[in-house]
Structure 1
Amino acid sequence: MGAGWAWVLTAVLAASPEPKVVSPLIKVRPGAAVEGRAEAKLSVARGECEAAQVVLPGNIQRVTAQPLTLSGEGAALKASVWREAFLDVKTPSNSQGRTGPWPDALVPVETPGEPSLPTVLYVEVCAPETQAPGKYRGELHVKADTKAMAAVPFTVEVQPFVLPATASLPTSFGISLYSISRGHGLSPESPEAHALLRDYARTLLEHRVSAHGLSMEAPPVRFENGRAVVDFRAYDEEMAPYFDGTLLPSGARFTTSDVRDNRKASTDEEKVAYYRAFAEHFQSKGWPAQLFFYAKDEPKPEDVPLVRAQSKRVRAAGKIPVLVTSPLDDALQGTADILTPTLNCFFPRPGPQTCRNVLPLSKLRSRLPANAKVWWYQSCNSHGCNGGPIPEAATERAYTGWASYMVDHPAPLNRAMGPLAFLTGVDGELYFDTVYAYNTQDPWKGLFEFGGNGDGTLFYPGTPKRLGTQAHQPVVSLRLKHLRDGLEDYEYLHLLAKLGDEDTARALARRLTRSGYDIEQRVGEWETVRQALTSRLRARWESSEYAKRPGVRP
């Protein structure tokens, strides 16, 4: 949502004969009375992507769009255009969800749609770090079936300030070669599957997200006189581009990486030597990504001895933090260097609690060693693990309002994690998977997992049969775009604080995310806050050393 949006309240789109532009923070559903305007006005920082939705009138099956190029102060900007596909939700995630079609997958614009559903185009403009500030203009020309629609004017104002290519907030979202292969009907050993895995991981990096898992192939190791001799050649071929900044033109890098455990290391001594070799390899390469060991996920009481043993071995190797997904737990005391509770463990609220040990971040930090980090993650403890409204009203309220990556929840909830992370000061975000439903069902027909629509799945398998394309490709969800926009919100707030105006940054963040379960859902308020943030940032930037010395970056 760019700072230049100035909404004009007009007639309901369904009654309009011309295309209308609406905020990306509105999920356009069948029969919804959505208001918009005739032109798109976006504001984008250098190093940022911003989008608008264009809703076409009438019952349309096929859409074609001419390339959208915007001319202005510097090199032309080129927009990407997708058509929004709908997921039929059969069981709501909770009382905030609804059954029926919800927009989510972003498919090639030429992909046939269902005429009974709205035709919505997602139009995105990305400004490179080197883009000259100023205004850029162009027109989107589309045909609905064989009929030419009225051109939609686009104005994009590129701001002088720059967002860093590599995310300032560490993240680690799961992805798996084996899940991707299954979803696309490929052999995981095939070169095609490995190339597709890179496409998926590259797409996450393009959205400011770092990944763990990937091929899951541990580098070969042998042991000589108590020393681990590790062959990192295949590992480096796969992973180095994410760590050294060569994968994307922007130079973006992963912020984190998990240690790949190796079954060849069977004794405690061998495991310690292997972990030490992993840490030394990262250090020798000069990779800035935070290496970490992901201990037993969500350990139960019977898993405590295992987690303690894992932590002891990894710490004996040195320089690799141990990540434990758990609320503060006396039984696990001293095992975690990165303690990672679920989001609902940080925010006490009236009524039943959905975490066994709820502690605000400041209190949690006071109970941990000074050098410990605190991350968080979403789970079904936010939306409810069974699906649908819970009959008991107080319990249902306990599972509503939270920041959420569910398909059938409002877009502001999908976007909220970024500003919420800035406001609280949490150190990073974990998410268990981005392609989970590839293993269990056809994601195009349903994403209901763990009581939520989309829990653990932020992509769709773009097979040639589904899309009519020559090659397999990842299909991005609207939710991943909203997640990315929230991480860009974090960058805006982080940059303003870095430029000496943290009080304003915190005040603006608080208007959007008052707590993990109290998220502003009025699109106009998100717009107003972004306008104020952009204005304040621009003024601070223009009086800073970064404006006077263009080569210097925050």
Structure 2
Amino acid sequence: MGAGWAWVLTAVLAASPEPKVVSPLIKVRPGAAVEGRAEAKLSVARGECEATQVVLPGAIERVTAQPLTLRAEGQSLTASVWREAYLDVKTPSNSQGRTGPWPDALVPVETPGEPSLPTVLYVEVCAPEAQAPGKYRGELRVKADAKAMAAVPFTVEVQPFVLPATASLPTSFGISLYSIAKGHGVAPESPEAQKLLRDYARTLLEHRVSAHGLGMDAPPVRFEKGRAVVDFQAYDAEMAPFLDGSLLPSGARFTTADVRDSRKASTEEEKVAYYRAFAEHFKSKGWDAQLFFYAKDEPKPEDVPLVHTQSKRVRAAGKIPVLVTSPLDEALKGTADILTPTLNCFFPRPGPQTCRNILPISKLRARLPADTKVWWYQSCNSHGCNGGPMTEAATERAYTGWASYMVDHPAPLNRAMGPLAFLTGVDGELYFDTVFAYNTQDPWKNLFEFGGNGDGTLFYPGTPQRLGTSTHQPVVSLRLKHLRDGLEDYEYLHLLAKLGDAESAKALARRLTRSGYEIEPSPAEWDTVRQALTSRLRARWENSEYAKRPGVPR
């Protein structure tokens, strides 16, 4: 976030004669009373992306923008610019949501908009790790319906400290070739669908998120004398760039990967041999990603024997952790190497409970074997599974305030999981899907699933018909940007702790996320905390071993 912004909800931007710069943590809705600034000031670490919003005045259909290049003493940075498209919410996720238009999809800036809706540009600057620190300046110049608007000055200060390319917090978010193909109206086996899958997964990696699922299909296998002979050629072609760091210039890698179960393995011996071959293949490739087996999702009582069987056979194959999505449950004792309850299971609060076994993470770890990892995930338990405010006030309160990826929830809730993860010390985050609505409806018209707007869907299908482009492409959501910003908050806090100031890092994290349902609502406070983090990191970095490494620009 830019330094020194004080965001006051006082004036309707549409009445302003010039473009205004608005905090990225404000969702600009029709008639929203928000005050902005005439210039943009951003602070970005090397290896980080930061953004702001520019709101254009008046009723506008078409926008064009000149490329925004920022310069400083022979160095330059290039910004990306999108136009925010609106989703018409028909049923609010809960009492924190509202019906009507909400900004979410980030479409090419030239995509025509609806003149009755605000025209908001999302402007993002990413600083490579090798970028020289300093202040970079430029101007955003746009035309609205062919009329030139006042230029918006941009100043971006690139900080000396560096965020790691590969995320420090393990994540695993679902994505599927078959869902993507359906959403875009192409055949799953087509080269177009295969390219789209890589584009979607690449986009997740660019946002510090690792994925499971992807092509979905298990590699071919045959069995010879009790040994699984697996043909990993197609699997490696799909997955290796995400696991060996060759896909992005930064060298970023997935932090995790799931075992793809094979129907060709029919006996217990064959299944164990197949899993062993999977583990051996990862080891032979030197891939650092945490390979795991995703057991039966949210097992019901009747699924308990299956989970025990799965866990036993996977462990017989070697060191592949078994992930189980469940609160602590005596019936499942001993099955999970990565226990993954919902977010609500970690934070007791007054009133009706939304998890059957709520334990703060310290108490949960005390009841697990020492080497068991603890992840968490969001579900409709964070907003209510039916949609709309509940009739019982106490029950409605139980489902409000939680960190959330819903379209019609405030941006700080979308961003909160990263700071929460640092504060609690959780080991990773799971999310079931990022393209779920592609299977059930037109995401451009509706994202209501599992009682929430956007549950399981963080993308929109960017078809040529929709965007007016020559090719298909993934369209990212504001929520994915907020999620990424939260993971970068995690990196700031994690780095400050590594540099010897863990207490300050924890204190700053508490100012943003006191618990899973107590999230700081003020964009100004988020900005203040980021400034404090930046100041402390600069002071610690200059005297650290990291700053003295060869090749690090100063």
TM-score, length basis structure 1: 0.99
Report the CA distance shift for 1:413/1:74 in structure 2 as closer, same or farther (over 3 A): farther
Distance 1:191 1:298 in 2: 34
Report the CA distance shift for 1:179/1:166 in structure 2 as closer, same or farther (over 3 A): same
Which residue in 2 is equivalent to 1:291? 291
Report the CA distance shift for 1:550/1:415 in structure 2 as closer, same or farther (over 3 A): farther
Aligned pair 1:305/2:311, yes or no? no
3-12 or 68-77, larger mean C-alpha shift: 3-12
Distance 1:359 1:552 in 2: 43
Please give the secondary structure, in 2, of the residue aligned with 1:443. coil
Distance 1:74 1:441 in 2: 49
Distance 1:123 1:408 in 2: 21
Distance 2:9 2:29 in 1: 18
Distance 2:446 2:11 in 1: 33
Distance 2:344 2:550 in 1: 42
Report the CA distance shift for 1:552/1:111 in structure 2 as closer, same or farther (over 3 A): closer
Distance 1:38 1:490 in 2: 30
* Conservation of the 8 A alpha-carbon contact between 1:2 and 1:530: no
Distance 1:201 1:4 in 2: 35
Distance 1:5 1:543 in 2: 29
Which residue in 2 is equivalent to 1:95? 95
Distance 1:474 1:4 in 2: 34
Distance 2:200 2:8 in 1: 38
Which residue in 1 is equivalent to 2:453? 453
Which residue in 2 is equivalent to 1:259? 259
Structure 1 residue identity aligned to 2:451: G
Structure 1 residue identity aligned to 2:470: Q
Which residue in 2 is equivalent to 1:117? 117
Which residue in 1 is equivalent to 2:428? 428
* Conservation of the 8 A alpha-carbon contact between 1:46 and 1:161: yes
* Conservation of the 8 A alpha-carbon contact between 1:176 and 1:215: yes
Instruction: Please state how far the C-alpha of 1:550 moved relative to its aligned partner.
Output: 4.2
Which residue in 2 is equivalent to 1:532? 532
Which residue in 2 is equivalent to 1:489? 489
Which residue in 2 is equivalent to 1:240? 240
In structure 2, runs of 5+ residues without a counterpart are none
Distance 1:551 1:333 in 2: 49
* Conservation of the 8 A alpha-carbon contact between 2:294 and 2:323: yes
Report the CA distance shift for 1:534/1:48 in structure 2 as closer, same or farther (over 3 A): same
In structure 1, runs of 5+ residues without a counterpart are none
Distance 1:39 1:551 in 2: 33
Total equivalences in the alignment: 553
1:209-249 residue CA offsets vs partner (Å, 9 max, x unmatched): 00000001111111111011111111000000000000000
Structure 2 residue identity aligned to 1:425: G
Distance 1:129 1:5 in 2: 26
Which residue in 1 is equivalent to 2:45? 45
Instruction: Please state how far the C-alpha of 1:15 moved relative to its aligned partner.
Output: 1.8
Where in structure 2 are the equivalents of 1:9-20 lying within 5 Å?
11-20=11-20
Calculate the aligned-residue CA RMSD, in Å.
1.1
Distance 1:402 1:544 in 2: 37
* Conservation of the 8 A alpha-carbon contact between 1:21 and 1:53: yes
Which residue in 1 is equivalent to 2:35? 35
Instruction: Please state how far the C-alpha of 1:532 moved relative to its aligned partner.
Output: 0.3
Instruction: Please state how far the C-alpha of 1:153 moved relative to its aligned partner.
Output: 0.3
Distance 1:334 1:471 in 2: 49
Instruction: Please state how far the C-alpha of 1:415 moved relative to its aligned partner.
Output: 0.1
Distance 1:192 1:223 in 2: 33
Report the CA distance shift for 1:217/1:116 in structure 2 as closer, same or farther (over 3 A): same
Structure 2 residue identity aligned to 1:216: M
Distance 2:92 2:480 in 1: 20
* Conservation of the 8 A alpha-carbon contact between 1:9 and 1:37: no
Which residue in 2 is equivalent to 1:438? 438
Which residue in 2 is equivalent to 1:498? 498
Structure 1 residue identity aligned to 2:447: L
Instruction: Please state how far the C-alpha of 1:7 moved relative to its aligned partner.
Output: 5.2
Please give the secondary structure, in 1, of the residue aligned with 2:489. helix
Instruction: Please state how far the C-alpha of 1:66 moved relative to its aligned partner.
Output: 0.3
Instruction: Please state how far the C-alpha of 1:10 moved relative to its aligned partner.
Output: 7.2
Where in structure 2 are the equivalents of 1:110-509 lying within 5 Å?
110-509=110-509
Distance 1:288 1:75 in 2: 34
25-34 or 71-80, larger mean C-alpha shift: 71-80
Distance 1:57 1:313 in 2: 62
Please give the secondary structure, in 2, of the residue aligned with 1:276. helix
Structure 1 residue identity aligned to 2:440: T
Distance 1:4 1:163 in 2: 22
Distance 2:547 2:245 in 1: 25
Report the CA distance shift for 1:550/1:24 in structure 2 as closer, same or farther (over 3 A): farther
* Conservation of the 8 A alpha-carbon contact between 1:68 and 1:78: yes
1:139-187 residue CA offsets vs partner (Å, 9 max, x unmatched): 0000000110000000000000000000000000000000000000000
Distance 1:458 1:4 in 2: 30
Structure 2 residue identity aligned to 1:392: E
1:397-430 residue CA offsets vs partner (Å, 9 max, x unmatched): 0000000000000000000000000000000000
* Conservation of the 8 A alpha-carbon contact between 1:10 and 1:36: no
Instruction: Please state how far the C-alpha of 1:3 moved relative to its aligned partner.
Output: 3.7
Which residue in 1 is equivalent to 2:511? 511
Structure 2 residue identity aligned to 1:336: A
* Conservation of the 8 A alpha-carbon contact between 1:73 and 1:132: no
Instruction: Please state how far the C-alpha of 1:548 moved relative to its aligned partner.
Output: 2.1
1:496-532 residue CA offsets vs partner (Å, 9 max, x unmatched): 0000000000000000000000000011100100000
Distance 1:10 1:346 in 2: 37
* Conservation of the 8 A alpha-carbon contact between 1:10 and 1:37: no
Distance 2:122 2:347 in 1: 34
Instruction: Please state how far the C-alpha of 1:545 moved relative to its aligned partner.
Output: 1.4
Please give the secondary structure, in 1, of the residue aligned with 2:75. coil
Structure 2 residue identity aligned to 1:481: K
* Conservation of the 8 A alpha-carbon contact between 1:74 and 1:131: no
Aligned pair 1:78/2:78, yes or no? yes
Distance 1:469 1:284 in 2: 42
Structure 2 residue identity aligned to 1:129: E
1:23-43 residue CA offsets vs partner (Å, 9 max, x unmatched): 000000000101100000000
Runs of 4+ in 1 over 4 A off after TM superposition: 6-11, 550-553
* Conservation of the 8 A alpha-carbon contact between 2:9 and 2:33: no
Structure 2 residue identity aligned to 1:505: A
Distance 1:10 1:147 in 2: 27
Distance 1:488 1:482 in 2: 10
* Conservation of the 8 A alpha-carbon contact between 1:4 and 1:157: no
506-515 or 10-19, larger mean C-alpha shift: 10-19
* Conservation of the 8 A alpha-carbon contact between 1:296 and 1:324: yes
TM-score, length basis structure 2: 0.99
Distance 1:181 1:69 in 2: 35
Structure 2 residue identity aligned to 1:227: R
Which residue in 2 is equivalent to 1:21? 21
* Conservation of the 8 A alpha-carbon contact between 1:4 and 1:43: no
1:110-165 residue CA offsets vs partner (Å, 9 max, x unmatched): 00000000000000000000000000000000000011000000000000000000
Distance 1:289 1:546 in 2: 24
